[in-house]
Structure 1
Amino acid sequence: MTIGILGLKVGMTQIFDKNGLAISITVIKAGPCIVTQIKNVAENNYDAIQIGFLEKKKNIKKPESGHFKKSRVGVLKFLKEYKVKTKDNFKIGQVINVDLFTPGQLVTVRGKTIGKGFSGLQKRYHFARGPMTHGSKNHRAPGSIGAGTTPGRVFPNKKMSGQKGNEFATVSGLTVMAIDKKENLLLVKGAIPGKFGNFVSIIPSLS
């Protein structure tokens, strides 16, 4: 894995290409991020670069304060590690900006999807509903969830009602349309997971 950048989803808009065609894009407030820790095989059994994003001003815990004090950087709200093959090009306190990417480059974006709350089987898994006429009372009921005596239990991962959304999702192969270095904005073609203000991680896609 290569080093990436952290950001917040600002929203969606559109731009027009030279042929006048509208292109849907997502605007991401990416960085600036700060290298907060450099891990190595000798101490941590693997090589990785930890970066932080967005200053944290309240509700700072003592372990957090101690961690950032050791790194000699301010307390940051979001932290993420990226495993790297070589860490020679990085140092603690180094700033990572959107100039890490170039227009036309393919990137992978990972974030949490929008939470839909407790949902039934039709909405959550697109199950077919039951008959709506002739006295049927099985319209949106789940139906049988397993055998009786044998095995006498419900198997794990059975599709049932429950929380929909609010889980990590990854979208690969998104094209970087433009970069605004002054405002630290990354314009990506297409949609990314989550609602506006959602925390995301962006890394270059493997070619």
Structure 2
Amino acid sequence: MCLCPWWKFIIQHKMSGIIGKKVGMTSIFSADGRNVACTLIEAGPCVVTQVKNVDTDGYNAVQLAFGERKEKNTPKPLIGHFKKAGTTPKQKVVEFRDFRVEFEGQVNLGNTVKAEEVFVEGDFVDAIGTSKGKGFQGVVKRHGFGGVGGQTHGQHNRQRHPGSIGACSWPSRVFKGMRMAGRTGGDRVKVINLRVLKIYPEKNLLLVSGSVPGAKNSFVILEK
């Protein structure tokens, strides 16, 4: 009988990744002639700005930074943090918990991590980004409602409105979670299992299959 807590097996998972910027979408032809939609990402190079370990921080992690930032627009504590790593101020800082075993002892403060050092063609990655903000939207755009075609469900001349939202004397209220109009987009979205189709090391570019959340030039986190 195993007496170890179940979460002990989860935190032992090793993960690595890199920070990138979404360039845009395109398509390529696969070996069997299929047209595959893909996203071009400028992945790295990232600078190691902090290395955490169990002795001092209680867990293992590597902090990476990406994207140049003007010093006048950088808070002073961050300026000192970047100078300690021997690098210029950066725009995006992300911490990767439990970097993979093969990187242990090789990732030190001030080192540069490139895409070809983390990924190889054929790998499956997870992409994390902030989806495009749509503002306040109605139920047709936000939830894909078809609109009310007939003169029923509580309304007759407003095709894109939700119609009736409640019941009668029971339960005499609207249930929580009712799909209604509201702010749409601008959320943290994670898309899993995107295949790395091509790596261009001389330009720090990755070509991954499928779509990646976010607008052009927005930051993307790639995890392996």
Q: TM-score, normalised by structure 1?
A: 0.85
SS at match of 1:68: helix
Please, which runs of 5 or more residues in structure 1 have no aligned partner? none
Q: Distance in 1 between matches of 2:57 and 2:174?
A: 41
Deviations 1:96-128 (A, max 9, x none): 111121111111111111111110122212235
- Tell me which of 94, 97, 108 is aligned to 2:114: 97
> How far off is 1:46 after superposition?
1.9
Say whether residues 1:3 and 2:16 are aligned partners: yes
| 1:60-139 equivalent positions in 2, closer than 5 A | 60-84=74-98, 87-99=104-116, 100-133=118-151, 136-137=156-157, 139=159
Change (3 A) 1:17 1:147: closer
Say whether residues 1:192 and 2:218 are aligned partners: no
Deviations 1:52-106 (A, max 9, x none): 0011124111121122123232111100001116643310011111112111111
Q: Distance in 1 between matches of 2:161 and 2:30?
A: 49
Counterpart of 1:178 in structure 2 is: 198
Q: Distance in 2 between matches of 1:153 and 1:45?
A: 48
Change (3 A) 1:157 1:92: farther
RMSD between superposed Cα atoms in Å: 2.6
Please, which runs of 5 or more residues in structure 2 have no aligned partner? 1-13
Q: Distance in 1 between matches of 2:151 and 2:179?
A: 26
- Count of equivalent residues: 204
Counterpart of 1:24 in structure 2 is: 37
Which sits farther off after the overlay, 93-102 or 83-92?
Answer: 83-92
Counterpart of 1:37 in structure 2 is: 50
State the percentage of identical aligned residues: 39
Deviations 1:125-169 (A, max 9, x none): 223533544882564444565689999986654433211111111
